[in-house]
């Protein structure tokens, strides 16, 4: 389940970008990186790396002006990412996004994903198209994630709950849901193992281990280190338990 407001926002951005492509051949400001000659297009699959227009000339000396701007504003890096994910990634400067994003279109489907790392990009491509090389790249990252969360005392069956004691009204209800979940057994005598990361207090596990996961700037959410999947937004006990069971069974 995804927060409906988030899903609606994603759909709105996709529609805006697609309209720009159709009417103007791009958004207000567009730059396209040529395909790397060693990476061949995949049938029915198109990938755009969307770089915020505000990031092009942002001033690093002004606090906050370059937030979320990455070093991917570089043709050589885009070529490298194209090779790693197994399909050409077209670079577009866009005023429709406030932070780097990847838009993937496959057959009659389209989605917008996180683009902070090449693993985020690979994950979005893998989820929508099942492209083998992208899936393999993200699988290799999951192995690193597994080793990393072990350092926080988490096992293979552990789940991470990302909440915030700051300005997050719905976190109050999901905090109670997770408290209930932790008191339940998923196997005879074995209770659910949930590690809580408070965005306002102790989010180190998110930045150290789970940076390749999508939308980790949003709370509340449940994260499964074993699969790379998340349950973001308000959720019920039955939904949380179903997510946890699938994570454990992975």
Three state DSSP letters for 44-94: CEEEEEEEEHHHCCCCCCCCCCCCCCCCCCCHHHHHHHHHHHCCCEEEEEE
pLDDT, position 154: 94
126 in the same domain as 22: yes
Q: 222 or 115: which carries more pLDDT confidence?
A: 222
166 in the same domain as 56: no
pLDDT, position 103: 93
| Distance in angstroms (rounded) separating the CA atoms of residues 168 and 203 | 15
Average pLDDT, integer, range 18-23: 50
**124, 134, 174 from 112: Cα distances, Å:** 8, 16, 26
Give the residue from 116, 138, 160 where a domain finishes: 138
CATH number where 228 lies = 3.40.30.10
Which residue in this structure is represented by tokens 């194209």? Answer: 82
pLDDT-derived band at 16, boundaries 50, 70, 90: low
pLDDT, position 22: 42
| Distance in angstroms (rounded) separating the CA atoms of residues 198 and 203 | 6
pLDDT, position 214: 65
Per DSSP, 152 falls in state T
Inside any domain, residue 208: yes
Inside any domain, residue 143: no
Q: Evaluate if residue 52 carries a pLDDT over 70.
A: yes
Inside any domain, residue 146: no
Packing angle of the helix pair 132-150, 118-129 (nearest 10 deg)? 130
Q: Evaluate if residue 29 carries a pLDDT over 80.
A: no
Q: Evaluate if residue 8 carries a pLDDT over 60.
A: no
φ, ψ (nearest 5 deg) of residue 48: -120, 130
130 in the same domain as 200: no
Burial grade of 197 (CB within 10 A; 0-12, 13-18, 19 or more): buried
Average pLDDT, integer, range 194-202: 92
Mean pLDDT computed over every residue of the chain: 83
Q: 21 or 187: which carries more pLDDT confidence?
A: 187
171 in the same domain as 134: no
90 in the same domain as 14: yes
Q: How many CB atoms lie within 10 A of CB 44?
A: 11
pLDDT, position 250: 82
Give the residue from 111, 138, 165 where a domain finishes: 138
98 in the same domain as 188: no
pLDDT, position 25: 46
User: What is the domain range of residue 177?
Assistant: 151-249
Q: Based on the structure, what is the number of domains in the chain?
A: 2
Interior CA angle at 217 toward 211 and 223, to 5°?
Answer: 60
Packing angle of the helix pair 75-85, 132-150 (nearest 10 deg)? 90
Q: 106 or 27: which carries more pLDDT confidence?
A: 106
Q: Evaluate if residue 26 carries a pLDDT over 80.
A: no
pTM for this predicted structure? 0.68
pLDDT, position 80: 81
219 in the same domain as 98: no
Average pLDDT, integer, range 80-87: 88
As a whole-number percent, the residues of the chain with pLDDT over 70 amount to 82
Q: 25 or 198: which carries more pLDDT confidence?
A: 198
Give the residue from 107, 138, 169 where a domain finishes: 138
């Amino acid at each position: 389940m995804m927060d409906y407001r988030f899903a609606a926002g994603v759909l709105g951005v996709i529609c805006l970008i697609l309209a720009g492509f159709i009417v103007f051949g791009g958004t207000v400001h567009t730059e396209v990186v040529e395909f790397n000659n060693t990476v061949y297009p995949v049938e029915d699959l198109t990938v755009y790396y969307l770089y915020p227009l505000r990031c092009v000339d942002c001033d690093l000396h002004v606090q906050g002006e370059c937030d979320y701007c990455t070093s991917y504003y570089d043709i050589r890096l885009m070529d490298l990412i194209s090779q790693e994910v197994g399909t050409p990634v077209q670079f577009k400067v866009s005023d429709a996004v406030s932070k780097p994003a990847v838009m993937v279109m496959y057959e009659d489907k389209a989605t917008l994903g996180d683009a902070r790392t090449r693993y985020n990009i690979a994950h979005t491509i893998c989820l929508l198209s099942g492209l083998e090389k992208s899936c393999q790249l993200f699988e290799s990252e999951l192995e690193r994630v597994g080793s990393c969360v072990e350092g926080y005392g988490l096992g293979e069956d552990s789940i991470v709950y990302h909440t915030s004691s700051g300005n997050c009204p719905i976190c109050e209800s999901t905090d109670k849901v997770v408290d209930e979940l932790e008191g339940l057994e998923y196997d005879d005598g074995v209770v659910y193992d949930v590690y809580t990361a408070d965005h306002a207090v102790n989010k180190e596990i998110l930045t150290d281990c789970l940076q390749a996961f999508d939308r980790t700037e949003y709370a509340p959410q449940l994260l499964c280190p074993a699969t790379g999947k998340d349950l973001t937004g308000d959720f019920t006990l039955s939904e949380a338990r179903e997510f946890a069971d699938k994570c454990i069974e992975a």
